[in-house]
Amino acid sequence: EPDDTPAPGTPDAEFENSLRPRRLSEVVGQRKVVERLGITLDAARRRGEPLGHLLLDGPPGLGKTTLATVVPRELDPDGGPGNIQFTSGPALRAPHDLVAYLTCATRGSVLFIDEIHRLPPAVEEYLYPAMEDFRVDIVMGEGTGARTVSLNIEPFTVIGATTRSGMLTAPLRDRFVNHERVEYYEVSDLAEIVRRNAAKLGLTVEGDAAEQLARRSRGTPRKANNLLRWCRDFTQVHSERGVLTPTLAARALEMREVDALGLEDQDRRYLRTIIEAFAGGPVGLSTLSHALSVPTDTLEDEVEPYLLRCGLMQRTSRGRVATVRAWEHLGLDRAADGGS
């Protein structure tokens, strides 16, 4: 799997669900996305229509699932959770896998398709008439007696999530009237998420402990939650009062081995490999993938976007290059390593 999304039904997934904002007003950061979505939702509510199909694009853990779960809740006239079904591109292997979801869709409900760029072409084509005309074609019977029946379904909304909107075919992309890109979060927003989620977990956080966690979360709420969870355990064991103080947070983070920029072992290994095995680059993605035994997808979706954002590497036409900043960050001497 290209990201660390917890598998459904596991304790990790339950932890994540329990911390998920329920309303648009509880979503921290992503101000422009939230504003635009607010308007689209308001208009849909006033017209009594489902939301236009929505494509959410961006690195893992930035709140795509969260935004999707908020939509049906915002549209539910009784203020309930609304109706949302979850599936993913790889799980939909053939058109018939999609039929049950489509026929179960209620008016205004959401069908969330994670990793929508991985939909098989046949499934994708089957989705078009459903998205466009709220219609599915079902084959009845077999062999020469088989006939196709066209069935109307309730007007609903597809919310597609992808780490790679560039890999979507043009016809699929065109069927999404709304397209939003989620970006890495500012430290102040992440600190706010940490404070809110600590409160939900019943953990008291003092001083700048929340900021410390935020700075080491790689701009990613999911990482912030995972650090918070670790700090909660650490507090349980090391603090009589059960309070996460700045000192305790620093000790907990030190032990977790995330560095000052929030880089984890895999990120540092990536940079170290370019620098030590390939003299700082340029090196091709697949070569790097072999050297690290990490799939190219993971490197492209999970590792590189954040390193790029930190200015630690560059993508050039000849391959990946470590920047001066990477040498400095790892405490390596560029001249001694033969870099130029």
Q: Which of 3, 49, 125, 154 binds ligand ATP (CB under 6 A)?
A: 3
- The size of the interface with ligand ATP (CB under 6 A), counted in residues, is 22
Please say which residue, 7 or 335, places its beta carbon nearer to ligand ATP: 7
> Which is it for the CA torsion 54, 55, 58, 64, positive or negative?
positive
**Among 66, 163, 235, 298, which one carries the catalytic annotation?**
163
CA distance 30 to 279: 38
Binding mask 34-73 for ligand ATP (x = CB under 6 A): --------------------------xxxxxxx-------
189 is catalytic: no
Closest separation in Å from C-beta 317 to ligand ATP? 29
Closest separation in Å from C-beta 198 to ligand ATP? 12
CA distance 300 to 112: 23
CA distance 212 to 194: 10
Please say which residue, 4 or 206, places its beta carbon nearer to ligand ATP: 4
- Copy the structure tokens of residue 125: 């084509």
Helices 221-238 and 11-18 cross at an angle (nearest 10°) of 100
Site for ligand ATP contains 203 (CB under 6 A): no
Q: Are strands 243-244 and 135-140 parallel, antiparallel or unpaired?
A: unpaired
Site for ligand ATP contains 28 (CB under 6 A): yes
- Which range in 14-22, 98-106, 143-151, 284-292 contacts ligand ATP by CB under 6 A? 14-22
CA distance 4 to 240: 33
Residue in the structure block whose two tokens are 């095995």: 277
Please say which residue, 130 or 193, places its beta carbon nearer to ligand ATP: 193
Q: How far apart are the first and last CA of the chain?
A: 36
Site for ligand ATP contains 88 (CB under 6 A): no
Torsion of CA 335, 304, 167, 164, to 10 degrees: -160
Q: Which of 92, 111, 161, 205 binds ligand ATP (CB under 6 A)?
A: 161
118 is catalytic: no
Closest separation in Å from C-beta 120 to ligand ATP? 20
CA distance 96 to 185: 39
CA distance 285 to 283: 7
222 within 8 A of 15, measured Cβ to Cβ:
no
Residue in the structure block whose two tokens are 């890109």: 181
32 is catalytic: no
Closest separation in Å from C-beta 17 to ligand ATP? 7
**Among 66, 73, 114, 320, which one carries the catalytic annotation?**
114
What residue type is 117 in one-letter code? H
Q: Which of 12, 20, 125, 315 binds ligand ATP (CB under 6 A)?
A: 20
Give the count of beta carbons closer than 10 Å to the beta carbon of residue 107: 14
CA distance 153 to 317: 47
Site for ligand ATP contains 29 (CB under 6 A): yes
Site for ligand ATP contains 274 (CB under 6 A): no
Site for ligand ATP contains 251 (CB under 6 A): no
65 is catalytic: yes
Which residues are near ligand ATP by CB under 6 A? 3, 5, 16, 19-21, 27-30, 60-66, 161, 193, 221-222, 225
Residues with catalytic roles = 64-65, 114, 163, 222
